[in-house]
C-alpha cells in the first residue's frame, strides 16, 4: 500500500484560503518552503486541510526525530499539563526541569562533571554557551566558520553565515566575531587531493590564531559537526580534532552546535561522536522537544557555573510541559534499537540517492551522515555551477506529488532529507521515488 494519498491538488481550496490569510496576517519575511497546510500528523506522515496525505522528508528541519505525535510523548505532555503548566524556574523549582538536566548531563559526550541550562530555542542555547564561555575565560573573541548557522538573534546572527538570506539589512552585528572558511571537500580545488585539502584547512585555522586573533583573547570556537544550512557538510575528523587540541592548549572553550545534528539525526546520539572529539559545551534544540519549544546548553560544570547568580535564565526556559516531552523523546531516541533503525534508514536513503546520482547529471554530490542526507544540484559536474532554480523546481514538483521537502546549501541549490527517524523503509522508498521522478522531469524539461 502507498502512504501518499491525494484527493485534491496541493494546496487544495481550503489550503489556498489559509495561505491567503497567512499572507494578510503574517510578515512576508517569514518565508515558507512549501504550500502545504498541515492539519495533523502521525509518524512520518502529514495530513493537510484538504484531506491529502504526504510523506514528510523534512521533519521540521530535523525537529520531528521521534515522528509526529508519538503516543509516549503526547501522553507525557497531557499528564504534565494536568499537573502544572509553568511557574518559571527563576521563581520556583519543579522536578521535570531537574530530571531533564540530569538526563542531558548523562547522555552528552564527556566523562566529567556537567551541568545543563534550559531555554526555548537553539539561538538561546548558543547565546548562553557564548556568554558562559566569555564569563569563564574572561575573554571576548569567538571564532566561527563560513557556512555556519547558529540562529537569528543579534549575537547568533552575527555568528551565522550566508549573508543574503539571513543577514541582509539587519546590521550592525555584534563585535569580536572572527570567521574563517570551513572545510568543504566537495568544493575543494580540483587539483588538490582530499587529505592535502584538509591539511591546508588546518593550517588556515592555525594561521587565524596569529593573523586574526591571539588565542589568549579567544573565548570559544563554535562549530557544527555537520554544517546544516551550508549543505550538510560533515566536518572532517582531522579538523575537529585540531580544534580540540588548540582549545585544550590555549584554554579556549570548544562549543559543538548540535541543534540540527543532535539526538540521532546522524545515526549516533550526537554527531560529534563520529569523530571521537569531546567538546566542552554542547548546544541542543530541535529534536530535543519532539515538537515543543525547548533547548539546552550542557557542558563542563566549571564553565556552566561561571556566570554570576542571576546572570542566566528566562521566563519560559525549561517549561515543565516541554521538559516532560523532552524526557520522553530523549529516552526514546537513546534506545539502541531506535538508533539502529535510524542508521538503517540512513543506509536506505544513501543507496537510493546514489542510485539517482548515477542516472542524473543534475546531482553533483550526495553527502551527509546517517539519515541526515542531501543532494547538491549542479548544471555542470565539472564546474559545479549551482542549480538553485532546479532545486526549487524539484521541491515544487515533489510537494505537488505528495512529499514534503526543503532546500539547503550556501547557494540554495541543495535538497535536504531529514525525515522522522521513525519512518519506515517503505515510506522512505516511496518518498524518494517521488523525488527521483521530479529530478528526471526537471532534468528533461528544465526548471
Whole-number Å distance between alpha carbons of 221 and 168: 24
Residue 306: its pLDDT value, please? 98
Q: How confident is the model at residue 318 (pLDDT cuts 50, 70, 90)?
A: very high
Task: Note the pLDDT tens digit of each residue in 218-267.
Answer: 999 999 999 999 999 999 999 999 999 999 999 999 999 999 999 999 99
Identical fold, 13-62+336-445 and 72-333: no
Residue 162: its pLDDT value, please? 86
Contacts of 66 (CB under 8 A, 6+ apart): 73, 287, 290, 329, 332, 333, 420, 421, 422
Whole-number Å distance between alpha carbons of 391 and 376: 8
User: Residue 1 pLDDT more than 90?
Assistant: no
Residue 375: its pLDDT value, please? 98
pTM of the predicted model, to two decimals? 0.97
- Mean pLDDT over 257-285 rounds to 98
User: Residue 199 pLDDT more than 90?
Assistant: yes
Whole-number Å distance between alpha carbons of 236 and 233: 9
User: Residue 164 pLDDT more than 90?
Assistant: no
The mean pLDDT value of the chain amounts to 97
Kindly indicate whether the domain formed by 13-62+336-445 is annotated with CATH number 3.90.1150.10. yes
- Mean pLDDT over 342-353 rounds to 98
Phi/psi at 375 (5° precision): -115, 135
Whole-number Å distance between alpha carbons of 338 and 442: 36
Nearest one of 392, 406, 393, 412 to 165, comparing CA atoms? 412
**For the chain, domain boundaries:** 13-62+336-445, 72-333
Q: How confident is the model at residue 357 (pLDDT cuts 50, 70, 90)?
A: very high
- Mean pLDDT over 274-300 rounds to 98
Phi/psi at 360 (5° precision): -135, 120
Residue 96: its pLDDT value, please? 98
Q: How confident is the model at residue 366 (pLDDT cuts 50, 70, 90)?
A: very high
User: Residue 436 pLDDT more than 90?
Assistant: yes
User: Residue 163 pLDDT more than 90?
Assistant: no
Question: In Å, how far are 42, 194, 353, 419 from 337, measured between CA atoms?
Answer: 20, 34, 24, 17
Whole-number Å distance between alpha carbons of 112 and 114: 6
Q: How confident is the model at residue 269 (pLDDT cuts 50, 70, 90)?
A: very high
Whole-number Å distance between alpha carbons of 268 and 356: 26
Q: How confident is the model at residue 195 (pLDDT cuts 50, 70, 90)?
A: very high
Q: Which CATH class is domain 72-333?
A: alpha beta
- Mean pLDDT over 360-373 rounds to 97
Amino acid at each position: 500500500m502507498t502512504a501518499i494519498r491525494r484527493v485534491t491538488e496541493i494546496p487544495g481550496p481550503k489550503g489556498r484560503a489559509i495561505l491567503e490569510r497567512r499572507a494578510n496576517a503574517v510578515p512576508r519575511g517569514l518565508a515558507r518552503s512549501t504550500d502545504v497546510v498541515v492539519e495533523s500528523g502521525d509518524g512520518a506522515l502529514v495530513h493537510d486541510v484538504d484531506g491529502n496525505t504526504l510523506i514528510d522528508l523534512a521533519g521540521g528541519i530535523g525537529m520531528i526525530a521521534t515522528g509526529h505525535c508519538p503516543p509516549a510523548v503526547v501522553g507525557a505532555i497531557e499528564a504534565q499539563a494536568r499537573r502544572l503548566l509553568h511557574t518559571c524556574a527563576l521563581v520556583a523549582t519543579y522536578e521535570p526541569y531537574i530530571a531533564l538536566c540530569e538526563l542531558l548531563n548523562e547522555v552528552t559526550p564527556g566523562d566529567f562533571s556537567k551541568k545543563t541550562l534550559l531555554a526555548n530555542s537553539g539561538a538561546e542555547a548558543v547565546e548562553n554557551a557564548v556568554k558562559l564561555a566569555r564569563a569563564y575565560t574572561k575573554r571576548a573573541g569567538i571564532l566561527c566558520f563560513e557556512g555556519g548557522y547558529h540562529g537569528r538573534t543579534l549575537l547568533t546572527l552575527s555568528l551565522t553565515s550566508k549573508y543574503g538570506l539571513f543577514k541582509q539589512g539587519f546590521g550592525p552585528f555584534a563585535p569580536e566575531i572572527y570567521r574563517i572558511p570551513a572545510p568543504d571537500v566537495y568544493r575543494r580545488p580540483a587539483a588538490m587531493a582530499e587529505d592535502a585539502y584538509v591539511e591546508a584547512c588546518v593550517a588556515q585555522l592555525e594561521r587565524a590564531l596569529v593573523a586574526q586573533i591571539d588565542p589568549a583573547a579567544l573565548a570559544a570556537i563554535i562549530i557544527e559537526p555537520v554544517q546544516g544550512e551550508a549543505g550538510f557538510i560533515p566536518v572532517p575528523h582531522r579538523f575537529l580534532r585540531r580544534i580540540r587540541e588548540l582549545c585544550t592548549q590555549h584554554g579556549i572553550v570548544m562549543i559543538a552546535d548540535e541543534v540540527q545534528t543532535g539526538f540521532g539525526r546522524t545515526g549516533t546520539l550526537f554527531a560529534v561522536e563520529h569523530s571521537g572529539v569531546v567538546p566542552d559545551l554542547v548546544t541542543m534544540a530541535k529534536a530535543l522537544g519532539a515538537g515543543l519549544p525547548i533547548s539546552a546548553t550542557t557542558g563542563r560544570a566549571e564553565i556552566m557555573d561561571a556566570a554570576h547568580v542571576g546572570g542566566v535564565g528566562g521566563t519560559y526556559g525549561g517549561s515543565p510541559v516541554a521538559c516532560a516531552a523532552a524526557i520522553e523523546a530523549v529516552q526514546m531516541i537513546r534506545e539502541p534499537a531506535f538508533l539502529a533503525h535510524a542508521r538503517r534508514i540512513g543506509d536506505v536513503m544513501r543507496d537510493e540517492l546514489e542510485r539517482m546520482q548515477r542516472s542524473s547529471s543534475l546531482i553533483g554530490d550526495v553527502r551527509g551522515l546517517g539519515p541526515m542526507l542531501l543532494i547538491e544540484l549542479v548544471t555542470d559536474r565539472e564546474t559545479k555551477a549551482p542549480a538553485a532554480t532546479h532545486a526549487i523546481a524539484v521541491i515544487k514538483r515533489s510537494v505537488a506529488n505528495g512529499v514534503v521537502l526543503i532546500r539547503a546549501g550556501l547557494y540554495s541549490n541543495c535538497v535536504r532529507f531529514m525525515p522522522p527517524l521513525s519512518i519506515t523503509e517503505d515510506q522512505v522508498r516511496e518518498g524518494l521515488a517521488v523525488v527521483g521522478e521530479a529530478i528526471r522531469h526537471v532534468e528533461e524539461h528544465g526548471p
